[in-house]
Amino acid sequence: MALILENVGKTFENTGQATLKNINLEIQPGEFLCVVGKSGCGKSTLLNLIAGLEAPTEGRILLNGKEVKGPSSERTVMFQEHALFPWLNVIQNIKFGMKINGVPKEEQEIRAEKYLKMMQLEQYKDYAIHQLSGGMRQRVALARAFTMDSDILLMDEPFSALDKQTSNHLRKELQDIWMQTHKTIFFITHSVEEAVYLGDKVVVMSGENGGIRNIVPINLERPRHVYDEEFIAYRHKILEEIQGGDY
């Protein structure tokens, strides 16, 4: 079943201004949805509502027919900063969420090994976090997010703090892992290129009225190549949608 947003709005009490208005959106199981839009248009607010970290002031959010009322292990969030625990090593970090959620030990082992392998982290599993590069830390965070086996993964610019080469590498790895697992992913990015590379659909948020300007399906085969003509055409189309912006 899908994630459905019905006429969702959010007005923060202290500002009294609507950050989000009339958001209607449906994300199908297994879909990779990317969200772009000018800085401050409400992308993270939207993610926080879906995560249940904030409550909408209008409308409702349904996951598998059930209204979202707060955070839950059905929805795993991954932020720009890796949020790993420095006192735990790589494998302990990867298992942490499963442990908290009462996943049996044997199952923890199976899932941890699976995603360690997919993220090419096997040889680093006993490393301390401070021994890893920024890119490797985000790979650990990705592995941890996938082991949760949630209905949906919510990612808020997970690669934006990394250098271009590392973030390009990681987006390819994320695509590979998604093609193998077909998890549902809600992915915020500042990079239109990243959105066209990863998304089945790209949601363009409106900078002015707190709504959605357009939803662009990306009909390109995977893996995608950033220098293909069609890829470039999609990039231009989406950039134009955002126009007036600071991209």
Whole-angstrom distance, CA of residue 197 vs CA of residue 23: 24
- Report the nearest approach of ligand ATP to the CB of residue 86 (Å): 25
- Report the nearest approach of ligand ATP to the CB of residue 56 (Å): 13
Q: Which CB atom, from 23 or from 140, has the smaller least distance to ligand ATP?
A: 23
Whole-angstrom distance, CA of residue 130 vs CA of residue 148: 23
Q: Which CB atom, from 80 or from 92, has the smaller least distance to ligand ATP?
A: 80
Q: In what order do the strands lie in the sheet with 201-205?
A: 75-78, 152-156, 184-188, 32-36, 201-205, 212-217
Q: Which CB atom, from 97 or from 210, has the smaller least distance to ligand ATP?
A: 210
Q: Which CB atom, from 49 or from 118, has the smaller least distance to ligand ATP?
A: 49
- Report the nearest approach of ligand ATP to the CB of residue 44 (Å): 3
Q: Which CB atom, from 39 or from 120, has the smaller least distance to ligand ATP?
A: 39
Contact by Cβ (8 Å): 67, 60: yes
> Where in 93-223 does DSSP place strands (E)?
152-156, 184-188, 201-205, 212-217
Nearest one of 23, 83, 29 to 49, comparing CA atoms: 23
Q: Which residues bind ligand ATP (CB under 6 A)?
A: 12, 14-15, 19, 37, 39-45
Whole-angstrom distance, CA of residue 108 vs CA of residue 111: 5
Which strand (E) or helix (H) includes residue 35?
strand 32-36
- Report the nearest approach of ligand ATP to the CB of residue 43 (Å): 4
- Report the nearest approach of ligand ATP to the CB of residue 148 (Å): 23
